[in-house]
Structure 1
Amino acid sequence: MGPRGRFVALFVADVVSVLGTRVSMLAIPWLVLVTTGSPAKMGLVAGAEMLPYVVSGVLAAPLADRFGIRRTTIVTDAGSALAMAGIAAVPTLGFGALLLLVAVAGAMRGLGDRVKHVMLRPLAEEAGIKVIRVTAAYEGFSRTAMLVGSAVGGLFIAWFGPLGAIWVDAASFALCALVVATLVRLPAEAIPKQAPETRESYVVALRGGFRILWNDSLLPSMIVMLFALNMFNQASIAVFIPVWVEEVVHTPEALGLLLGTFAAGAVLGSIVFTAIAPKLPMYQTFMLGALLAGAPRLLILGLTHELALVCTVAFLSGLAMSAVNPVIGAMLYERVPPELQTRAFGVCTAITFTGIPIGGVLGGLAVAGFGLNTAILVAGTLCLVATAAPWLWSRSRRPAAAPKPAAIVGEAQ
């Protein structure tokens, strides 16, 4: 198989993994609901998956570098398949055992997603594809997979029951492991070697992921920006929009319409951005996209009760959001030495994803304490300040050149 074939194989495996994860995000909580009738236990299951997902991407990254990123991809996909199969094969598992298997699957996915991202860069370069196009296309396909996965997950639950849907999820991870094992090989120059006696200790390797990001002139501000966006967006999705729909529109279908228009804008934007991305200044594009993707979507909820206008702004915010994740992904590829990318991606994901649970909690507390409209307007104003200030400041700065790769450490395969 040629370079483009290997790249496409990995790309497809990654998107299939996202699709399978989306199915399990519906099927496992639904399984808990129909077997226990407890919404609280549903929340515990979601937390049991998310926390290991975030933590493993950081703590296990140095081990992945040493073990080899290709081998790590295969092992984590196979481990995810076994964990899902365990849940599906033993429906009489106690709740504690279920939490354990879900946590194992979350840890596998956290590390597996990070190493797949790292593998995309050398395969794209070998195939002669610009990295910014890869990250933009990946964002579009991932969002499409999330949309399709939600619908497909609901159909699978209706057709096969929650256990059947989980079996499908297990099969998707097994397929990913098989595709990478048989069709994907990294270029020889992307497999750095290091003598065992010169290998870094685990602590030194772990610290390297934080150091390379902290010392960069641009990446820290972008990571903080993405943390803020995740926090405010989660408050909007989990609290503000559902309560607004219930209190203002009184139509449950409006909830799906609002979330769907934002996602549709993000998918369409990803298609357009893939075509024009190489011509755009990346840092400024990221900052402008963040500015337009967060605050307008929040503020419109507090300023009008017109559903059509709110949906229009949500769609435009989705278009703007399509530029955010691809740019930071491309800049991580360009500004972080290849041998440190697994760790850097893990640290970046851990920090930015932390905004998700914080946003949900703060959004609920804000509505309870100040009322819906005040909470939305305050959140929208804070989001505007958080996203506008770095943009205005950065206009007076010229982005620094990407640092030269450091000495090679670890081993990747």
Structure 2
Amino acid sequence: MLIASSVSIAGTRVSTIALPVFVYTQTRSPGLTGVVLAAEMAPYVVSKALGGPLVDRRGPRTISIVGDVLSGGFLALIPILYAVGQLALPDRIPLLLLLVALAGAFRGPGDGARNTMIPAVADASGLSIEKITGLDSTFDRASGLLGAGIGGLLVAGFGAPETVAVTAGASFVSALVVALFIPAVAAVESTETGSYRSRLAAGASFLRRDRLLRSVLAMIAVTNLLEAAYISVMLPVWVLDQGRGPELIGLLGLVFGGAAVASSLIATTMSGRFSRRTAYLVGFTLAGAPRYLALAVDAPLWLIVATNVVAGLGAGFINPTIGAIFFERVPRPIVGRVGSLADALAWAGIPLGGVVGGAAVAVMGVAPALGAAGAAYLVSTTVPGLRPEWREMDPAGARPGVGLE
């Protein structure tokens, strides 16, 4: 499961570097650069939300394989069509939008399905949920680190559209790993009967009643929107307008990801020995605003790199905490649909992030846009922690059912 997820995430990270560089270098339009991200992530979020009952009914193994194969197939068309002269921008931007939209629509349920495997993997391995989510986060960070480095180097060496082929190949490899090495027993089957709509409603009802999960998801939705604006538009535009190459984007991704891997390992080995609430809030405070503000004030390169290291150290504590809380609170038979809805809500801001980032850069300029985003990130990651339900994050109050209205 960890290998399949890591390969998929590394490939996705490659395309998050390649696609914005491709669009911006061809069009010099921050708006179009942001629209491409929105075209991919809007179908991703919707399909992930709606795919939860299907994951519970068919099992995560099948949905993961099908999603990866179809998503990879549509992405593979991007370098192929570009090579034969059928994807020149900006004339062919509608075709590019269609391809990334279809890839996102099928990747959403596949990604959600792999997350749903975690409880069964914990049962089979004898490790706690918290250890498994910590390992999953560490592998995810490491694969994001690898993908960022590979993406920056490949774009610089071979070109952006050609590099998207790596993402397509990663999707196929992920599907193959799941097909060959993850048995069907990894599926978390539900015996619940009823229509698709009623099963989806049951997951939504659970989320409405759980105040802590609602609050956490709202906060993550905001930070994901800001992060999408940063990664897809603000950072590439700042780097390219400074006269630097895409390898700098890869370098910043490498140092951020490397620090995040290190802190994820610490969070995994020390699980249960520190306050989840404190680690979560401090982690988020460090993970966002410092990076944005360093670019906004045109800080020296060494300071920009240092803020990415600090941000990575903070980010490594976030996902293990989220995963442990989620799987402790959500009943096993509905984990697929609740998880898919939760992920969709958390990612709901991402499709808007590219559009908001593109509009902000076009209207304000890249430096003021980065400053505004950094300030918004800081506010959004400190204010929610004052709510009383956040005390339920720590083990003494984070048992399933606690905090439900």
The TM-score range, normalised by the shorter chain, is: 0.7 to 0.9
Contact 2:60-2:188 within 8 A present in 1 as well: no
Which has the larger Rg?
Answer: 1
Fraction of identical pairs, as percent = 37
* 2:107 corresponds to: 109
Partner SS, residue 65 of structure 2? helix
Change (3 A) 1:384 1:106: closer
The CA deviation at 1:11 is: 1.3
Equivalent residue for 1:77, pick from 50, 68, 74 = 68
Choose the corresponding residue for 1:57, options 25, 45, 48.
Answer: 48
Show structure 1 runs of 5+ residues with no match: 1-9, 406-413
Match of 2:223 among 226, 229, 232: 229
Query: Considering only aligned residues, what root-mean-square deviation do their CA atoms show, in Å?
Result: 3.8
1:130-169 residue pairs with structure 2 within 5 A? 130-153=128-151, 168-169=166-167
Separation in structure 1 between the aligned mates of residue 73 and residue 177 of structure 2, nearest angstrom: 16
1:354 aligns with 2:348: yes
Per the alignment, in what secondary structure is the counterpart of residue 117 of structure 2? helix
What is the match of residue 399 of structure 2? Answer: 402
Q: Alpha carbons of 1:264 and 1:183: their partners in 2 closer, same or farther (altered >3 Å)?
A: closer
Residue 27 of structure 1, CA deviation: 5.7
- Judged with a 3 Å threshold, the aligned counterparts in structure 2 of structure 1 residues 189 and 30 are, in CA distance, closer, same or farther, namely closer
Change (3 A) 1:367 1:50: closer
1:113-143 CA-partner distances (Å, limit 9, x unpaired): 0000111221123201222222222223223
CA spacing shift, 1:323–1:207, aligned 2, 3 Å: same
Aligned ranges for residues 116-265 of structure 1 at < 5 Å?
116-153=114-151, 168-187=166-185, 190-194=188-192, 199-238=193-232, 258-265=252-259
Q: Which moved more, 1:88-97 or 1:268-277?
A: 88-97
The answer for the alignment partner of 1:392 in structure 2 is: 386
> Are 1:24 and 1:169, in contact at CA under 8 Å, matched by a contact in 2?
yes
Number of positions where the alignment pairs a residue of Structure 1 with one of Structure 2: 389
In structure 2, C-alpha distance between the alignment counterparts of 1:136 and 1:32, rounded to whole Å: 35
Match of 1:323 among 295, 309, 317: 317
SS in 2 for 1:334: helix
1:66 maps to which of 57, 74, 78? 57
Equivalent residue letter for 1:59? L
Q: How far off is 1:56 after superposition?
A: 0.7
**Kept after mapping to 1: 8 A contact 2:8/2:171:** yes
- Cα distance 1:372–1:49, how it changes in 2: closer, same or farther (>3 A)? closer
Q: Which amino acid aligns with 2:191?
A: K
Matches of 1:164 and 1:346, distance apart in 2: 31
2:148·2:250 contact (CA, 8 Å) conserved in 1? no
Cα 1:356/1:275, change in 2 over 3 Å: same
Single out whichever of 212-221 and 390-399 deviates more from structure 2: 390-399
1:145 partner amino acid: S
Question: Deviations 1:305-351 (Å, cap 9, x if unpaired)?
Answer: 44434433332122111111221122211111122222222222222
Residues 135-177 of structure 1: CA deviation (Å, up to 9, x unaligned): 2222232232223224434555678777875555444333322
Change (3 A) 1:67 1:278: same
Distance 1:365 1:26 in 2: 19
> How far, CA to CA, are the matches of 2:236 and 2:278 in structure 1?
33
Give the direction of change, closer, same or farther, for the CA distance of 1:282–1:246 in structure 2 (3 Å limit): same
Cα distance 1:140–1:97, how it changes in 2: closer, same or farther (>3 A)? same
1:365 to 1:21, Cα distance in 2 relative to 1, 3 A: closer
5+ long unaligned stretches in structure 2: none
Q: What is the CA-CA distance between 1:218 and the residue it aligns to?
A: 1.0
Distance across 1 between alignment mates of 2:71 and 2:381:
37
User: Which whole-Å CA distance do the structure 1 matches of 2:390 and 2:76 have between them?
Assistant: 54
Shift of residue 112 of structure 1?
0.3
| Length-normalised TM-score, structure 2 | 0.79
The residue type equivalent to 2:216 in the other structure is: M
* Aligned equivalents of 2:172, 2:354: Cα separation in 1: 33
Please give the TM-score of this superposition, normalised by the length of structure 1: 0.78
